[in-house]
Each structure stands twice: as structure tokens, then as C-alpha cells.
A and B are shown apart, each in its own frame.
Chain A
Amino acid sequence: MSVSFETLLERTKDEIRAEAEAIRRRLPVETVVQPSAYEAVPVEAGAARGPSQGPRVRLDYSIDELCLENYASFVERAFEAIIKRSIEPDTRSALVRRLASGTTKVEILGDLLYSPEGRSVGVRVAGLRKSYLLAKLFNVPVVGYLAEWCFRIARLPIQARQQRAMETYQAGRLHELRDAVQALELRCAELAREQDAIAARLAALTGDDEAGLKSLGEAQQEQAEQLEKLSRRVVELVDGQASGLREESRLRDAQVSQLAARIDEIGRHAVDGNEDYRRLVLGMNHWLTTLRTNLAELGSGQDTSPRRPD
């Protein structure tokens, strides 16, 4: 059955995907930008799309959405969303260090968005421009400090409320963590018990194996001895057969020699017999010639004395 072009194409594409994966593994990390960098982001919710049309790159985000994660996860997610490629390890470390030194997430987002590469991608983050400008203003010496001071004072009640909420949240998380640690400790104890049981079982299995190996060795030795005896018997039999064959061969050689001598003798007798016949034929031939000559002379009457054959 012939394979359709579509099937062949899909199969080929699978093979190419596998080869791409192999290339990624083969090449040094810094020389291959990871695939997520170039992958299309899913279509925005609600956006219509034709059945045969390709993916659209998502370009609109909100600050809250990008700030959901914390620490390194925040940096990675923000970078991928705004720059549309995976973050390099050095950039990741640098941005995490900035976060750790007190830089706000909004400032990180703004720095990414308004960098040359970020602007080339053209992502929009709703409400970021205002917050980013404010964050930058706070960095201006003296004026920025005063501005932030005023801003923070103005927001103090809100921040106090947020802090109370955060404390409750952290207490809840701490409680959950404590429970989780206790559960883990219990599980560790169970695992330790299971480990001991497995070790004991392994030891027993090892003992059984040693006895089994010993009996197996003995059986193998016995088999080896039997094999040696058998091979000796085979050698004897072969030797006996060989000497019989040698004797038979000698007798046959003698018979062949006798036969050869007999053939020579017959040959010689045959040659002698042939010589006698040759002489007889030559004699008769001479006699006949002489006879024809005498008869011819008698017929002509020139010589009446008969010639004797030689």
C-alpha cells in the first residue's frame, strides 16, 4: 500500500523535529537560542481566526498578569512575554540581583519593554508607562527621594492594609509549610523503614545466590570431568581407526604394486608376440614377391632355372 503525501510529510516532519532536538543537545547552550524564544504565543482570547491561518503573536498584557510570579520565575516570565525569547543565564542573574537589591517589578518590566529589543517586539503592557515613569522619577537624586517620600506617605494607609493582609497570608503559608514539613518527616520515617526492609531482603537474596552459585560450580566441574573422559575415548577411537586405515592402505599399496608388475609382464609378452608375427608377415611377403617374379620369368621363357625365394 502506497503512503499518502500527507502521511509522508508528517513522518518527515517528526524526523526533522527529532533531528532539531538532537542539534539542540549537540550544540553548546549559548549557541542555540531555545525554541520558546521563537514560538508563537497562543491567540488572544476571543480573537477570531480562520481555520488555515497561523498563530498570532500575543502583544497585550497587564501589569498584574506579569507580576504574578516572584523572584527568578517573575524575571523569566516577564522576559519571555516582552522580549519573546528565552532569557540568557547572565541576564537572568542580573535581573534577579536587581530585584534582590530592591528594584521594583514595574521598573524591571519597563526596562525590558523600553529596551531597543523590547521596542522592536512591540508588546504593550496596560498602565505600565505611568508606573514606570514614576519609578524612574524616584531614582532622581534628592527630587526623586522627596517624591517617593511623599508618594509613600500618601500610600501609607493602603500599604499598612496590604501589609496586614500579607502578614495573614504569610502566617497561613507558614502554617501550611509546617504541616507539609511534618508530613514529609513522617514520610521520611516510612521510607527509612522501607529502606531497611529492602536491605534485609537484599541480604537474604545475596545468601541464597551464594549457595546456588556453589552447587552450580560443582555441577560444572563434574560436567567438565565427564567431558574430558569422553574426549580421551574419542582420541583413542580415532587413533585405532587411523592405524587400521594405515594397515589397509599398506596392503592396498602392495596389491597395486603386484598388479603393476603383472601389467608390465603382460605388456612385455604382448610386445614379443607382436615381433614374431611381424617377422612371419615380412617373410611371407618376401616369399610371395619371389614367387611372383619366378612365375613371371616362367611365363616369358627367358630363364628356365627357377629362382629360389630368398
Chain B
Amino acid sequence: MRIAQIVPGLRPHDAVSNDCRGMTACLRSAGYEVTTFAWSAEGVDEPVHDPAMVIDWVHSPDDVLVYHYCTGADAIVDLFRRVKARRVVRYHNITPPGFFRGWSKGYVDACEAGRAQIARFARMNCDLYLGDSSYNNEDFITAGVDPRRCETLPPFHACEELLASAVDDRRIPRVGGAPLLLMVGRIAPNKGYLELVDALSVCRQAIDPASHLLVFGKLDQNLAAYGRALHARIDERGLRHNVTIIGDAGDKELRAGFAAATALVLPSAHEGFCVPVIEAMALGTPIIAYASSAIPETLGDAGLSWESRDPALIAASVGRLHADAELRARLRERGRERYAARFAPAVLERELIRIFGRFA
């Protein structure tokens, strides 16, 4: 049995790419023959093939074709119709286009096109719909997929590499014991950066004037309008010297940021899984999160999750964590336990092999 994986692009520090690489390694170690197909690849040390060739590679009905679905691609829908192999949709979710209205027409169109394909994949009656979370699976169940064809598998990730990495804190702000709020994720409207700036503003006024926000996140030029709005909000609140944005952080800097932070603060309104949550759990950073979309499922009780993005509530949470060493220690411990029990590579590998056992 051959397994082909199609992913739109392979890049370093990309959640979908990490998942694809992790699945490849796991399935190979279990004795399967696995090949990756992508339209673009960078920083990858193994052969990656053009997706147009996949139909020649998985030609037997016993083979399995896995598509990492995170964007719209008509070519894959057509391919899924034609292929004889068994079909798996590995669903990482697509942000609802409403979040991008007013910021980027390109994003709105892309997200609309991507989400429109949910119904098309659902109608194909694929062999397996493998969501990062049960929140993701719900999209397919709502579109009419039999829940028995759905499985949940958290994404493979690079937390272990992060844990083993050295620390480089040269670009990490020195806050002199003041609260340091950390946010990890691309700068996009659904991530709630404007709300985060409001929370930082309240932190400065109510907790500590030296409170600082550290962001590890890139700004896509197609979302430049949102970037401008973010900087305008920062200036409006008088926070220019209290915010550090690092768009090109490597593992060493990420590690240093997680170690220095009072808490990972996530006001994100839409996440299909949220890998930074498990990175924080693995590295022992307390988490404060808005309990939206899949975040409660990923976080569980290993952090402070709220039904609101009220800045005063976030600021009070930061203040409490900053002052309460015992709470910090207990949340760290809880996070590490949850990571070990649910998201450690060995757990994911065992689960993936169990799921793929149906194709053996």
C-alpha cells in the first residue's frame, strides 16, 4: 500500500507543513511507502513532487491519497474525483471570510472559495475525514458527512525541536520584572490583535506601566490594511514603546520568548486547533485564552480560558498570573501533563497508526 500526501506548500515553521512531515515520518516508520506532493517547497531535505503526478503514483485501489485541506484548490477536487485510491481529507480548517472583509478582498475570495469546497469534499463520500479537532470535523458533519467517517487527530508539530533548541534572547524585550504578554500567530484579523492591544493598554494602567507585548507573527502584505490598523491602535493607546513585533523568529527566539513571558495571551476568534497553545504547554508557559472555536478543546483546563475578550478581564488575568507564583506553577504543571497525555509525538504516532489501521 502506497500513501501519497498532497500539501499546498511546504515551509519551515508552518503548522500544516509540520503536520505533513510528522505524518510522513510516522507512517514510514510503520512500514508504509509514503511520498509528498506539493506545489512549492522550501527548507525541505527530501524529494517533493508535483501534485499533477500523484495520480500515476497512487494507481491502486489499495493506495491512500491524503490531502491536507487548508485552502481552496479546484485541481484537488478534480483529482479526488478521478483517483482510484482511497481518499483521506486531512482538514486543518479555513478561516471564515467574514474576518477579512474590509481588509483584503483577496483573502475574502480565497477563504470563500476554500470553504465552498467543504460541501464538494463532503459529497464525495471520502474514506476518511481526519480533522485536527472535533471542531473541524463539525464542518463536514454539518455538510452531511457520516460521523463514523470522521476521526480527530491533533496535528504533528515541532514542539520537541523547540524544547531541544538553544535560547537566543537578544531580541526579547527586557521588562524588568513587569508582565510580558506573548502572542504567537500571523498578524490577521481573526487573531484579535486589536483586542490584544486594548488589553495591553489596560494592563499598563491597572497592573504595571512597564507591561509589554511580544508578538511572534508575520504580516502578509495582502493584509497590510490590518497591519496599519494595528499600528494605528498601538499609537492611539500610546503603546509604541510597549510592543515588540518579531516577524522572522527562529526556534531559539521562540524558546526565549516563551520562557520570558508571563503568559501566552490568545484573543483569537477563530482557530482550527491552535498549535501555539501546545507549544506553551510543552514549554511551561501559562496560557490566557478567549474560549472561541477549537481553543477550549485544545487547551482544556490547562489555562485560563474566558468567554469574553474583555480587556479588563485579560488584564486581571495577567495581573493575577504575574503576582501568583503558585498559580503559575500549577498551570505549568497542568499544561505539561496535558501535553504529555494528548499531544506528545508518541501519542500522536500511536493514534495515527491506529487510524490508518483501517486501510491495512
Contacts and interface: CB of A to CB of B under 8 A. Distances in A.
Contacts of B102: 116-122
B151 interface: no
Nearest to B98: A122
A19 B327 CA distance: 16
29 contacts: A5-B334, A9-B301, A9-B304, A16-B313, A16-B317, A17-B313, A20-B312, A23-B206, A27-B202, A31-B201, A32-B312, A33-B311, A34-B310, A38-B267, A40-B292, A48-B141, A48-B142, A50-B297, A53-B138, A53-B296, A54-B293, A57-B269, A119-B101, A120-B103, A120-B226, A120-B229, A121-B98, A121-B101, A122-B101
B144 to A, nearest CB: 12
Contacts of B308: 35, 38-40
A19 B320 contact: yes
Contacts of B320: 12, 15-16, 19
B72 interface: no
A139 B138 CA distance: 46
Interface string A21-48: 1011011000111110111100000011
Interface string B273-305: 000000000000000001111111100010011
B98 A52 contact: no
Interface in B118-134: 134
A23 B316 contact: yes
A124 B189 CA distance: 17
Nearest to A117: B102
A126 to B, nearest CB: 14
A32 B330 contact: no
B224 to A, nearest CB: 13
Interface string A42-68: 000001111011111101000000000
Interface of B: 96-103, 134-135, 138, 141-142, 189, 195, 198, 201-202, 205-206, 226, 229, 267, 269, 290-297, 301, 304-305, 307-313, 315-317, 319-320, 324, 327, 330, 334
Contacts of B291: 54-55
Nearest to A26: B206
A49 to B, nearest CB: 7
B138 A49 contact: yes
Given A54-B295, A121-B98, A122-B102, 19 more contacts: A6-B301, A12-B304, A12-B324, A16-B304, A16-B316, A27-B202, A33-B198, A34-B310, A39-B308, A50-B134, A50-B297, A54-B291, A119-B103, A120-B99, A120-B189, A122-B96, A122-B98, A122-B101, A123-B98
A120 B193 CA distance: 13
Interface string A99-129: 0000000000000000011111111100000
A8 interface: yes
Given A23-B312, A122-B98, A52 B292 contact: no
A50 B152 CA distance: 13
A66 B109 CA distance: 27
Shortest 3 CB-CB distances between A and B: which pairs? A119-B102, A122-B98, A38-B309
Contact of B135 (A6, A47, A50, A116): A50
Contacts of A27: 202, 205-206, 312
B296 A54 contact: yes
A20 B316 CA distance: 5
Summarize B's interface: helix, strand, loop or mixed: helix
Contacts of B324: 12
A13 interface: yes
A124 B206 CA distance: 36
A119 B290 CA distance: 22
Interface in A265-300: none
Contacts of A15: 320
Interface string A245-275: 0000000000000000000000000000000
Contacts of B297: 50, 52-53
Contacts of B316: 16-17, 19-20, 23
B206 A53 contact: no
A120 B225 CA distance: 10
Given A19-B316, A54-B292, A12 B98 contact: no
A120 B101 contact: yes
A23 to B, nearest CB: 4
Contacts of B304: 9, 12-13, 16
Contact of B134 (A34, A38, A53): A53
A32 B334 contact: no
Nearest to B308: A39
Contact of A35 (B294, B296, B312): B312
A71 B292 CA distance: 33
Contacts of A5: 301, 330, 334
A23 B134 contact: no
Contacts of A116: 102, 229
Contacts of B311: 32-33, 38
A5 B330 CA distance: 8
Contacts of B295: 54
Nearest to A119: B102
Contacts of A53: 134-135, 138, 293-294, 296-297
Nearest to B225: A116
A47 B312 CA distance: 30
A118 B102 CA distance: 8
Determine which residue in B97, B141, B315 has the highest number of CB atoms from chain A within 10 A of its CB, and name it.
B315
A31 to B, nearest CB: 6
Nearest to A60: B98
